[in-house]
Structure formats: C-alpha cells, structure tokens
Amino acid sequence: MSDGAGKLAVVTGASSGIGEATARRLDQDGWKLLLVARRADRLEQLAGELRDAEPLALDLTEPDAPARVRERAEQEGALHLLVNNAGASWRASFGDEDGGFENVRRTMEINFDAVLRLTEALLPLLRASAPSAIVNVSSTAGRVGRPGVGAYSASKFALAGWSDALYLEEKPNGVHVGNVLPGFISTEGFPQKQLTGLWLTRWIVSKPEKAAQAIVDAGPGGKAERYVPRVYGVVPALRHTFPRIVRRTLGG
C-alpha cells in the first residue's frame, strides 16, 4: 500500500487544513485523488494545482452524499484509500443555551454519522481492491475530554472506538483501518490563537503537514494509530492511570 502511483484515494474535508495538506502529500506519492468538501471554489483551485485530482463539492450530511461519492469513485477507477477527515466543532458547555443536545446532535452528524455512512457506501469498493485502507481522523479529544468541547469529544471518542472495532472486522478482508489523533493543529477552522500567541504554549501546536504525514503512516503505511505530535500519546495514558489528577489539571 505504500506506493500510491496511479491508485485512487478519496479525501474528505479537502478544501483546507489537514485535508488539503493530505491531498498535497498524497499527490507527491503519485496518488490519483477525489477531493470532497463543501467549498467548490477551494476544491477546484486545489485540484488545479495537483497532478491528477478531481473535485467533488457536496455536504456529506446530505442523504444522497455517500451515493454520489461512490458513483464518482467508480467512474475514476478502483478505490484503494479513503481518508475520513471532514469535521466540525462548535465550542459550548452542555449546560449553555446553545450547547445542549442540539449541539451534540449536529456535531455527531458530521464528525461520526457522516463518516459511517460514507464508509458503508465505499467499503465494497475498498474490499474489491484490497489491499486497501481507511484512515479516520479522530482527535486527542477522542481519548481525553475537556471543558467546552464535550460534543466534539463525544463524536471523536465514538469515531476512535468504532475505528478500533472496524480495524479488527476488516483485517480479514484486506482493508486496513488506521486512526489518527491530532492534538492542537493550527488550521483555518482551528487557528489556536490562544496557544500560538504565548511562547509558553506555542510548542504544543503542530502543523497540518505533520497530520498529513501521520495519515500516510496510518493508511498506506499500515500503522494502527498515530498521535500528532506523537508526544500527545502520553495524555490518554495519564488519563487512564491518573484520572483524578488529569481531570483537575484540565479543569484549571
């Protein structure tokens, strides 16, 4: 799977941030790309800068979105890689007026439900072209919860747990499932200004390009899981070993 020359990859959330960086990284390895996101202008611009890429502008929460992606993928050729990267977050505490069930529902819809629906639609194609791979972009917040991002954490916890199960289920079918868990990544949607503005915390913010490399490692590279940066892998270990201390620390 490490050689992507001429093979097709679907990358969601490709119009900016980690998705864009992943598309550029895969392009360097010779992958043929189907770029999926909502912003048509950004997708078309990116596709024009890559060697062999096609844009597909759509909202993955729409009922017909998985079928539309599958149809385009079938037109482009055998599918060898699916990168489920698209996601969103609306910061709010659960007890806030705008942070209750509806916020959790809409976050789960894009970060978890849409991933499952798209994967279900494309899984037959990935099995048919095995060895192939799926990479789900979860988050360090999918292992450790923090105040104000409970909905986001819930969706990413669900995605990480499902990824673990899917890995075991699809291994006999030749479809590898990798999980990438970024920490703080400076992107358009998550600029991390509160961290990058202080020298004391600037070092914990990583770049989309590092996440893109982790996606390559966890997909074509066959690795089960990657934290970005890797030192963040210590956080879940501490959470499970010293839950009270970690909760007190994250709670300020």
Q: Which of 193, 163, 196, 71 is nearest to 121 (CA)?
A: 71
Strand partners, 76: none
CA 102 to chain centre: 22
Which residues are marked as active site? 152
Q: Which helix (H) or strand (E) holds 66?
A: helix 65-76
| Per-position DSSP letters for 114-181, written without gaps between them | HHHHHHHHHHHHHHHT-SEEEEEE--GGGTS--TT-HHHHHHHHHHHHHHHHHHHHHGGGTEEEEEEE
